[in-house]
Amino acid sequence: MTVLLVVLVPVALIALLVARSRSGVSVSDVGSSTAAVSDAGVRTTADIRRASAAETVRGIGRVEGRLMFSSLWFAVGLAFCALIILAFAVAFADENNEPWAEFAQMAPWFVHPLAGMTVLASHRATTRSVRDGTEEVFGVCPTQPEVRTLGHLAASWLPVLVSAVFLVVFGLLLLVRSPGLHGPVTADSTGDVLGAMLLGVGSVALGVALGRWIRFALAPIVVVVAILFLSTGISGIGGRGWNPYVQLSTAPTIEAPSPVFADRPVWSHALWILALVLLVGLLAMLRHRRDRPILLGVGGAIVLAMVAAFGATREMPAASASAIADRVARPEAHQDCVDIAGRVDVCVFPFHAEYAGRIVADVTPVAWALPSAVGPMTIRQVYEGSIEQLPPEVRRRLPDRVAGRPPNEVPFSGFDELGNFTGPRRDLALAAVGLPTRPDDELMPAVVAGEARGVVAVWLTVRGLDLDDQLRRARVPETSSDDPFENGSLDGVGECSTPSVVWSRQDLEAARAVIQVPDEVIEAALASDWARWTDPSTGTDELLAHLELAPVGPFDQVTPRPGEPC
């Protein structure tokens, strides 16, 4: 049902707007400046000649905005907005666990499809007279060509308004449907949203400029695709390492696993987008005027772009770099902790305090299931990205070698979907039995085929859940492969999905059998001889025999292989 909604709603929206465009006022009826000014409230030919340029621009802008709203290209942009809302705020709303500030960084990405379609719609509106054969009519109109160009630019009110409504509706739905979104909305979030709004103005300006200089119908499509590749290319400079130019992209990527490890030049980026918008708008005006005010405006926009580019790519302030370096090297000095019955501490940066509550609720059943033989453990938020991804000014302030975390600490950096087999509860269970929570430096997982501790880790991970949910999470997602490695990976296998631990198919069968044994029986067995059941030399069938369950061996021969980096 969800898939049908995601597909059918945007299609229905396009059909509705196409029907509206065909039933409304015809293009030729409102394509002239006379009709536009009449719309502004000027009724007679004499009045038209007395209308000021500003009134004419406003009138044309209102008419062009209404025509744009009913155009097919803009309808496609609206369909993209609907698709984004359906995907992120409806179908997969539960998977949004990022900070609100990080989600705000995605605003330019969310409005980019609408902006791209607006470029096409604006180009088509600007070249309307060519298609309708009304060039001579415009030639005898009292409105000057530059005024008509300004009128087309004034239609930017529509994509700005639609973008604002889209982001507000999107945000409200996320507020209701995505409880995992957390943290404060920072001042930088305002800059992120402002940059997204400016893209609405820039898309109209780009479409008008292209329409004035290049009337070829495919020109805006070529330019939009080129901008897409250019923006992603800028964001990809440096590969997986630090990229100082990312803020020069129209849609910057998220650079850190958490805002506490970043200090972005958000306002310099917004100023950069503003400078680009001014340059493109002035380029449209250069088609008609090349007098001193226009040339001075171009020069001023270039200077503004240079200032913004310098601000967006300059080094991070020393105070910010030192603070981030200390959070990377000594996270415990900057965190607040929540104790779970003296067994487990959950420690996060204050920025993520709300998320700490979700982790506590999720891991409490696992913590209570740990026997007293397991010493106090800590789930700690840390920086787990590569050092190369940090700005040079931060790297210079790090100690020569960042100290490793104590063995009783369970690190986490991302905000995985709580409730899958991944996440803090899984990591706590793995660490408790002595298994790694992350693959090694070579992205090589640990194989626990035939080891009892792997079954114990699965049992611990699913504590506190309904039986059906426990059994589901102890099962590998459906796969047609006969590969023992894939059939033993609960995390999944593929690009950006490297398991830290791989079981055998028989171990997971054993885990599902153990899950159905009364909890008090398993807890008594673990409490009586925890060292035995977590020893790598203790076999799965040995644990099953102790619990009076049928053996599952022989076990598949699982050969570990490295994962694929993103």
Mind listing the pLDDT tens digit for each residue in 22-42? 444 444 434 444 444 444 444
E-state strands within 413-515: 446-447, 501-502
Identify the H or E element spanning 151: helix 145-154
Share of the chain above pLDDT 90, in %: 65
450: left (phi over 0), alpha (psi -120 to 50) or beta: left
Q: What is the pLDDT of residue 98?
A: 87
C-alpha to C-alpha distance for 107 and 454, rounded to whole angstroms: 42
C-alpha to C-alpha distance for 510 and 128, rounded to whole angstroms: 70
- Of 422, 353, 358, the closest CA to residue 179 belongs to 358
- Please give the distance of CA 342 from its chain centroid, rounded to a whole number: 36
434 pLDDT above the threshold of 70 = yes
DSSP 253: P
Tally of residues, the chain: 566
C-alpha to C-alpha distance for 115 and 104, rounded to whole angstroms: 17
- Of 417, 373, 381, the closest CA to residue 527 belongs to 373
Per residue in 252-304, pLDDT (tens digit) is 988 778 999 999 999 999 999 999 999 999 999 999 999 999 999 999 999 99
C-alpha to C-alpha distance for 394 and 321, rounded to whole angstroms: 5
- Please report how the helices 292-313 and 266-285 are oriented relative to each other, as an axis angle in degrees rounded to 10: 160
Domain ranges for the chain: 2-217, 433-566
314 pLDDT above the threshold of 80 = yes
Q: How many angstroms separate the Cα of 525 from the Cα of each of 122, 370, 547?
A: 72, 12, 8
564 pLDDT above the threshold of 60 = yes
**Cα-based angle 377, 382, 385 (whole degrees, multiple of 5):** 135
Q: Which two tokens stand for residue 374?
A: 């397991």
142: pLDDT confidence band, cut at 50, 70 and 90? low
Least confident of 222-226, 536-540, 562-566: 562-566
80 pLDDT above the threshold of 60 = yes
C-alpha to C-alpha distance for 303 and 306, rounded to whole angstroms: 5
Q: 409 - beta bridge partners?
A: 378
16 pLDDT above the threshold of 70 = no
Strand pairing report for 377-381 and 409-412: parallel
Average pLDDT over residues 105-129: 95
Three-class SS of residue 410? strand
- Please report how the helices 353-369 and 424-432 are oriented relative to each other, as an axis angle in degrees rounded to 10: 40
422 pLDDT above the threshold of 50 = yes
Average pLDDT over residues 75-80: 96
Mean pLDDT of the chain: 87
C-alpha to C-alpha distance for 328 and 393, rounded to whole angstroms: 13
43 pLDDT above the threshold of 50 = no
C-alpha to C-alpha distance for 67 and 346, rounded to whole angstroms: 56
Higher pLDDT, 487 or 31: 487
On the question of a cis peptide bond just before residue 406, with omega within 30 degrees of 0, the verdict is no
560: left (phi over 0), alpha (psi -120 to 50) or beta: beta
20 pLDDT above the threshold of 60 = no
Q: How many angstroms separate the Cα of 338 from the Cα of each of 353, 354, 364, 365, 442?
A: 10, 12, 11, 15, 34
| Residue that is written with structure tokens 């009519």 in the block | 137
Identify the H or E element spanning 394: helix 392-395
Q: 412 - beta bridge partners?
A: 381
pTM given for the model:
0.83
Q: Which residues of 380-409 are buried (b: 16+ CB within 10 A; e: fewer)?
A: bbbbebeeebbbebbeebbeeeeeeeeeeb
